[in-house]
Amino acid sequence: MRLKDKVALITGAGSGIGYRTARLFAKEGAAVVVVDINDEGGYACVADVETAGGTATFVKADVSRASDCEYMIAAAEATYDKLDILFNNAGISHAADDDAINTSEAVWDLTMAVNVKGVFLGCKYGIPALQRAGGGSIINTASFVALLGAATPQLAYTASKGAVLALSRELAVIHAQENIRVNALCPGPLRTELLMKYLDTEEKKRRRLVHIPMGRFGEAEEIAKAALYLASDESSFVTGSTFLVDGGITAAYVTPE
């Protein structure tokens, strides 16, 4: 087991990437703290893990609130005595996110509060826990759009993910000699609810797929496997990386039809 005797906290674990990662981490031996703002999804994830023979507990938290982030870290240590892996994965993509002219200040602020402040607060309270454990791995979910301009305007989301990249790099340097690794995981377009709610017709899907050299959407399970690598000791010399799992989209200039 690649995470035997490890304790992992995953935000946004009630659906999508976080849900699949929680199941995979538990399968690989970790005790998992499932964090989400949604009770139903969080408890469903814990039930799934436990049915498969794993260990998990649910903590309800809004990652944009400092008190909630402080609480989720304290709950992890109180329940499992330590924290080894912190996966700051929770994020939103607002339906009204657009260009600079048409994106409201409220949408901008909400996106930044969850996607950037949520990662900052997770690290603010999580890093001391990793220090107490003697080190560990932090994985922050960014996106391929942090490196490319989005074809469909989503300015707040794109800017927020760029901030996650910068934050991750700096923390990696600051804590490199404390046995704490920090990496930004950058998924490409995925077949998850977050994206599919926008690509709600076959025509929209085809227009996006033409930009992906592999010619398909990624699956949440594939991102979970990348997170497993970054969480495990197999990536012991990997820190400060922009870890792309994107079907080749950021490598492409002209893509095949």
Helices (H), the chain: 16-27, 39-51, 66-80, 105-112, 118-132, 155-174, 193-196, 202-209, 220-231
- Closest by CA to 228, choosing from 36, 29, 15, 11, is 29
Q: What is the DSSP string of 10-70?
A: EETTTSHHHHHHHHHHHHTT-EEEEEES-HHHHHHHHHHHHHTT-EEEEEE--TTSHHHHH
224, two tokens: 């979970």
CB 89 within 8 A of CB 40: no
DSSP state of 220: H
55 burial (CB, 10 Å; 0-12 / 13-18 / 19+) is middle
CB 153 within 8 A of CB 98: yes
Q: Is 198 part of the annotated catalytic residue set?
A: no
Of 80, 157, 198, 253, catalytic: 157
- Closest by CA to 146, choosing from 134, 163, 130, is 163
Cα angle 40, 126, 219 (rounded to 5 degrees) comes to 50
Active site residues: 157
